[in-house]
Each structure stands twice: as C-alpha cells, then as structure tokens.
Structure 1
Amino acid sequence: MSTETVTTDAGDARITWHPAGAPRLLLAVSHGAGGGIDARDLRALAAVLPGHGVSVALVEQPWRVAGKKVAPAPKTLDLGWRGLWPALAATGLPVIAGGRSAGARVACRTAAELGAHAVLALSFPLHPPGRPEKSRAAELLGAGVPTLVVQGGNDPFGRPEEFPPGDGAPYRLVEVPSADHGFAVPKRAALGQDEAVTIVTDAVTTWTASLT
C-alpha cells in the first residue's frame, strides 16, 4: 500500500494504492459526501480485489484532503475527479471508475468523457431521502459503459425496486438485503454485517471477472 498526492484544479487529491500482483484492471473508487475511504465497503474491496487481479485506488477528493466537512457542488467534485484521472490512466490498466453515493454520481457523469472501462456505483443516491420525484436516474443511465450498482435493500436514497427496470437497462443491480446507505444491517436482519459486506465484495469480484 502506498499513498500519492495529486494536484487538481479543485485542490490536492489523494490516492491510496492497493496493488494486485499481476493486475489486469484498476478500480478507482471514491467516497461519498459524508464520509471517507474508511467506509466498510471501500475497505473491504481494497482488501479483497487485489487477490483477484484487480488493483484498487482509494481516492480522496480535494475537499476531504483539505479537512472540510461539507462536500462542494457536483461540478467541483467532477473537476477534482478529472484532475486525478491522468494518475490513474498512467498505470496502463483499464480503469473502472467507481464511487459510493456522491462518488458514484461523479463516476457516472464523467465515465464516457474520461474513457472509463466500466463504472461501479455503490449505494447510488437515486434521489434525496423522501423525494423520489428528484430522480438522478439519468446520470446512471447515461454512464455509457458497463455498470454495476450495489444497493442496500433499505437505502433511503433509493431502494432497489425504485431503480429503472433492469430489462434492457445498461446496468446490473445487486441488492444487499436489509442494508442501509452505508451497507449497515440491523441486528434483527437475517444476515450479519460480515455477510452483508461479503455480498458486496463477491458481487464486485464476479463482475470484474466478467469484464473484457
């Protein structure tokens, strides 16, 4: 594991590299608007995927590196992501653009422009809680590359059944039963917390293996 600071027009971003021994893909994945790269799903992916030939780059947006508590406007998030992309592309590997929550929106919005190989959307915020009329489905549907969505069954930002129909949709959706926006599951749930995280890592491992 190593850390690299990358200067962007939005400020300094930071990449924490988790390299695979003989990588065939790079997953670059960023955090949401309310947390960092210590999120349970991001940590788990960084631990598991390198053993399956996928290097992982955990990306901290400039606002997070600067110690701010509130994420900036979407256009500024996109600016930071664009600015660090050359450091990801420099590996020479096909890059999967990924993110959780707000980071997933960034990945979807910029995937085609930046030449991403695919998109991983963790806890995609389909709409603000309680505001289904404020849909962000167009961002997801407009990614333009193979896309995997991993969504908690009880995510207030969009439950799996709220997403556009899967038939013909340009993405695959995997549900983590009973999980919330952070993939936390209640104690009364049929599956435990470790099992919930394993659903995430298994889904991503299987999907990345299918990418050509």
Structure 2
Amino acid sequence: MTETVGTESGDAHITWHEAKRPRLVLALGHGAGGGVEARDLQALARVLPAHGVTVALVEQPWRVAGRKVAPAPKTLDTGWRGVWPALAGTGLPVISGGRSAGARVACRTAAGLGACAVLALSFPLHPPGRPERSRAAELLGAGVPTLVVQGGNDPFGKPGEFPEGEFELVEVDRGDHGFAVPKRAEITQEGALEVITAGVVTWVASLA
C-alpha cells in the first residue's frame, strides 16, 4: 500500500510492506541518485516483514515531483520530518533509516524525532576522492543505536575509513556504493543482498 503524505517540502510517498505481527517499523529513505527501487531497499522490504518488522519505503517530495536533482540537506530533513507522524502513528518504535543521502538524513534527525535506532546503508562518509571532507560527525551524532552497512569498495568511504564510535558495521565484500559486486567476485549479487538482509535481521533482533 502506498500513501501520500503532505510535507512542507511537498508531497511524499510511503509504501508499506507490513508484517503480520509487527513489533517495529523500519523507515527507509532513498539516496540522491535514485529512488526506493534500489536493490538494498527492495531486499529489506521483502525480507524484514517475516521477522516482525514493517518496512516503510519513503519517497522524498523531490522524487515524487519528478525532479532529477536532490535539494539541499535542510530540505531533505524537512521532508523526512514531515512524514514522521505517519510513521510514528503506528504506535510502534520506529527505526530511522536510509541509503546514502537518506542515511545522512536519518542520522541528522534521529534524536529529534525520537527514533529508536538508525540504519545507515552506504553512508557517504566523504565525497569520492575527498576524505578530508568527512561527514563522520553526522554518523557519530545520531545519538541512538546505529548500524552501518557498507560496501567494501565504496568510493564514498570504505569500511576501514570509518572512525571508532558507538555504531556497528557490516561489510559487503567487494560491494560498491550501490552494493553491486564484480561479476568475478567470490560473492554473487544475490549473496551480497543476503549479507545485507541477514546483518539487518540480526541487528534488529538485538534491539528488542
């Protein structure tokens, strides 16, 4: 089921993948270069409901409006805050999550919105080739239990580049920023997605 939610940044869409006996809601925002059709978001939406987690895929207003370029971080945060009442309205604890730019939004807004945890998929630790422009402060400032899932070859920040902090990290071997793996890699694309979903399932179970 997809519902339209009005925000100060325009209309957003929430597509619900509901668990039969939910105990948590996992809200997932997309990145600046794509939408909720991303392979990792879709894999989590397929797998998590069987583990008692309702997954809400959130399409930001700029994507709903058909724009091709994401707006400034402040506007992304406004859109995310605007959909939060619909997410929290379930009465269940909500994990704030997203991939890439969506992961940054989740980290920046988690404490203020009352999220119970943060799931950061492909967190863009820095622009490619610019490690001095670190965004680690956003991740470290989330203020709630946080899981980072990162590709081993992500140009926006490889797992070994992340600082020590109050977060867990799952590495997808050979994965790039979209968790694509080379055809000749030991791990298959399906295997890479299984690493992501299994890691998230285990982490979510630890939150209970």
Class of the TM-score when normalised by the shorter of the 2 chains: over 0.9
Aligned residue in 1 for 2:181: 185
1:172 correspondence with 2:168: yes
Q: Structure 1, residues 29-64: CA drift from partner, whole Å, max 9, x if none? A: 010000000000000000000000000000000000
In the alignment, structure 1 segments of 5+ residues that lack a partner are none
Aligned residue in 1 for 2:144: 145
Aligned residue in 2 for 1:3: 2
Q: Kindly report structure 1 stretches of 4+ aligned residues shifted beyond 3 Å.
A: none
Aligned residue in 1 for 2:14: 15
Secondary structure of 1:79 counterpart: helix
Aligned residue in 2 for 1:64: 63
Aligned residue in 2 for 1:38: 37
Distance 1:161 1:123 in 2: 13
Q: Structure 1, residues 67-125: CA drift from partner, whole Å, max 9, x if none? A: 00000000000000001100000000100000000000000000000000000000000
Secondary structure of 1:197 counterpart: helix
Distance 2:143 2:155 in 1: 26
Counterparts of residues 60-139 of structure 1 (less than 5 Å): 60-139=59-138
Distance 1:50 1:84 in 2: 20
Give the alignment's TM-score, normalised by structure 2. Answer: 0.99
Residue 14 of structure 1 and its aligned partner are, at CA, apart by 0.3
